[in-house]
Structure 1
C-alpha cells in the first residue's frame, strides 16, 4: 500500500474550507480504508491513467507527496512522467457545456441555486486546469481561472460566491448563498463564455 497527499494542502492553499486530499494505492479490495476520506485506486488503474495522460495523473505527478509506503518505494515516482495530455479539446467542450447548462438553469429559476453555482465553479475551474495542462503550463489550483493568461476577468467577490457554493454543495460547509449573491454571480459570470472561446482559440493555434 502507498498513501499520498495531494491537492490544496500540497500547494499551501489552506483555509477554513480546505480538506486534506488523500490517495490510497492498493492491490485489491481494502475495506479498512474509508472511501469518504481517501481516493482509492488500484495500481493497475493508476498505470492506465498514466499511459492515457489523464489530467489526474499529471496532478499526482506534479503535486502529490508520499505519506506512507509499505515496501519503502515511491510508486508514483516509479511510474515516471505521464503520457502527453491529448484530450483537451473534448474535455474543455464538456466543461463548457456544463457551464452553459448550469448558467441557463440558474437564470431560469432560483431553485437549486447552490447546486448550479457549484457546477459553474467546477466547469470554470476544470476548463482552466485542462487548458493550462494542454498548453504546457499546468495549474491545478482552485484559482486557476484567475491565474491563467488571459485570466478570467471576474469580480473577486463573485468568484468567491462560486467557490462558497462548491464547498456548500460538496461538503456542507460555509455560509449560505443569499438571493442577492446569486444575482451578483449571474451578472459576473456573463463574461465566462467569451473567455472560454479565447482560450479555445489559443489551443487551436
Structure 2
C-alpha cells in the first residue's frame, strides 16, 4: 500500500473549509481503510487512469505528495507522465450541460438552492480545469475559473457564494446561503455560458 496527500493541502490553498485529501493505492481488499477518509484505488486502476490521460491522473502527477511507502518506492512517481488528455470536448460538454440544468432548476424554484449552486460551482470549476488541461497548462485550484484566460468576469463575492454552497453540500461546513445571495448569484452567473464558449473557442481549428 502507498498513501499520498493531494489537493489543496499540496497547493498551499488550505483555509477553514479545506479538508485533507488522502489517496490509498492498494493491491487487494482494504476493509481496514476508512473509505470516508481515503480515496481508495487499486494499483491497476491508477495505471489505467494514467494510460487514459484522465484528469485525476494529471492531478495526482502534478500535485500529490507521498506519505507512506512500504519499501521506499514511489508508485505514482514511477508511473511517469500520464498520457495526453484528449477528452476535453466530451468533458467540457458534460460540465456545460450540468451548469445549464442546475441554472435552469435554480431559476425555476428556490427549493434545493444550495445544492443547485453547488452543482453550478462544480460545473464551472471543472470546465475551467479540463480546458486548462487541454491546453497543457492544467489548473486544479478551486479558483481555476478565475485563473484561466479569459477568466470568468464575476464578482468575488458571488464566487464566494458558489464556493460556500459547494462546501455546504459536500461537507456541511459554512454559513447558510441566504435568499438574497441566491438572487445575486442567479443574476451574476448568466454570463457563464458565454464565458464557456469564449474559452472553448481557443480549441477551434
Q: TM-score range by the shorter chain?
A: over 0.9
Aligned twin of 1:136: 136
Q: TM-score, normalised by structure 2?
A: 0.99
Q: CA deviation at 1:71?
A: 1.5
**Regions of 4+ moved over 2 Å:** none
Aligned twin of 1:182: 182
Distance (whole Å) between structure 2 residues aligned to residue 183 and residue 28 of structure 1: 49
3-state DSSP of counterpart to 2:17? coil
In the alignment, structure 1 residue 93 sits paired with structure 2 residue 79: no
Q: CA deviation at 1:118?
A: 0.2
Q: TM-score, normalised by structure 1?
A: 0.99
Q: CA deviation at 1:65?
A: 0.3
Gaps of 5+ in 1: none
Aligned twin of 1:46: 46
User: Alpha-carbon deviations, 1:23-68, whole Å to 9, x = none?
Assistant: 0000011011100000000000000000000000000000100000
Q: CA deviation at 1:133?
A: 0.2
RMSD across aligned positions (CA):
0.5
Distance (whole Å) between structure 2 residues aligned to residue 191 and residue 139 of structure 1: 21
In the alignment, structure 1 residue 56 sits paired with structure 2 residue 56: yes
Distance (whole Å) between structure 1 residues aligned to residue 57 and residue 204 of structure 2: 23
In the alignment, structure 1 residue 67 sits paired with structure 2 residue 73: no
User: Would you say how many aligned residue pairs link Structure 1 and Structure 2?
Assistant: 205
In the alignment, structure 1 residue 35 sits paired with structure 2 residue 41: no
Q: CA deviation at 1:167?
A: 0.2
Gaps of 5+ in 2: none
